């Protein structure tokens, strides 16, 4: 089992998250440092029992996940669990993901922040919640899925199944391409409830993606571009 963390300027949270992962999961750890410019690289150099991939420049969240899949495949892992490093994904939940993976009944175990009751203080910014809900509805209607949370990065992935996916979306729109390719490959999917935690409602995507209208248009463009490729249409029609 491999646990992969994409990070960008996470000096504030990195050491605590790594400590918590070690407490809760008997697994190898991979950190993909996506061109951090703070103390993150120095902190990673002080860690002796983890694997580190470093991008010289920021390439994007999606590229970090793609690199994690490639690393897992090259090193013969059967499963890779991805999680964020900002303390919004709880390492205490890792045993549940590991148990679900070991049950060996699905190919993707996707965390859902909306299957558990939550307090108002845990609510994400309104634009993020609405865009998440809208895009989840679009995905479900077009792919015949039954997801409740299409953007959660806390997931367990069967590595052999990830090898079937032609993934190239490097940025935050990665989940939109990912779900299309998963449907195309006929992968089996389940959701696992996780706690919704929003520590930093002011966190930015960066650039034009901070504009909710632009972000929504970008997500829709990525999704329908992936959906309408000839190979994908044929695979979904055959399925």
Q: Quick one: pLDDT band at residue 158, thresholds 50, 70, 90?
A: very high
> Is it true that domain 2-238 has CATH number 3.40.50.800?
no
Joined together, the tokens standing for residue 76 give 């013969």
Contact 9, 34 (CB under 8 A): no
Query: Minimal CA–CA distance to 197: which of 129, 118, 142?
Result: 118
Q: Quick one: pLDDT band at residue 88, thresholds 50, 70, 90?
A: confident
Residue with the two structure tokens 């951090």: 36
Strand partners, 34: 55
Q: Quick one: pLDDT band at residue 92, thresholds 50, 70, 90?
A: very high
Q: Quick one: pLDDT band at residue 214, thresholds 50, 70, 90?
A: confident
Which helix (H) or strand (E) covers residue 230, if one does?
helix 230-238
Asked if residue 230 has pLDDT above 80, the reply is: no
Query: Minimal CA–CA distance to 173: which of 66, 52, 14?
Result: 66
Question: What was the pLDDT predicted at 213?
Answer: 85
């Amino acid at each position: 089992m491999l646990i992969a963390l994409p990070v960008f300027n996470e000096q504030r949270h990195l050491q605590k998250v790594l400590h918590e992962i070690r407490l809760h999961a008997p697994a190898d750890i991979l950190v993909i440092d996506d061109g951090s410019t703070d103390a993150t690289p120095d902190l990673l150099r002080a860690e002796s029992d983890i694997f580190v991939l470093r991008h010289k420049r920021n390439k994007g969240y999606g590229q970090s996940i793609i690199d994690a899949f490639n690393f897992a495949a090259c090193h013969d892992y059967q499963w890779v669990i991805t999680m964020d490093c900002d303390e919004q994904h709880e390492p205490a939940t890792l045993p549940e993901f590991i148990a679900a993976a070991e049950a060996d009944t699905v190919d993707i175990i996707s965390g859902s922040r909306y299957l558990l009751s939550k307090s108002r203080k845990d609510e994400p910014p309104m634009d993020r919640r609405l865009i998440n809900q809208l895009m989840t509805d679009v995905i479900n209607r077009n792919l015949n899925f039954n997801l409740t949370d299409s953007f959660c990065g806390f997931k367990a992935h069967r590595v052999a199944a990830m090898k079937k996916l032609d993934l190239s979306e490097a940025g935050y729109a990665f989940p939109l391409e990912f779900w299309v390719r998963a449907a195309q490959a006929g992968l089996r999917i389940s959701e696992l409830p996780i706690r919704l935690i929003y520590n930093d409602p002011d966190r930015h995507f960066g650039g034009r993606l901070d504009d909710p209208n632009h972000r929504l248009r970008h997500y829709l463009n990525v999704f329908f571009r992936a959906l309408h490729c000839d190979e994908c249409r044929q695979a979904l029609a055959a399925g």
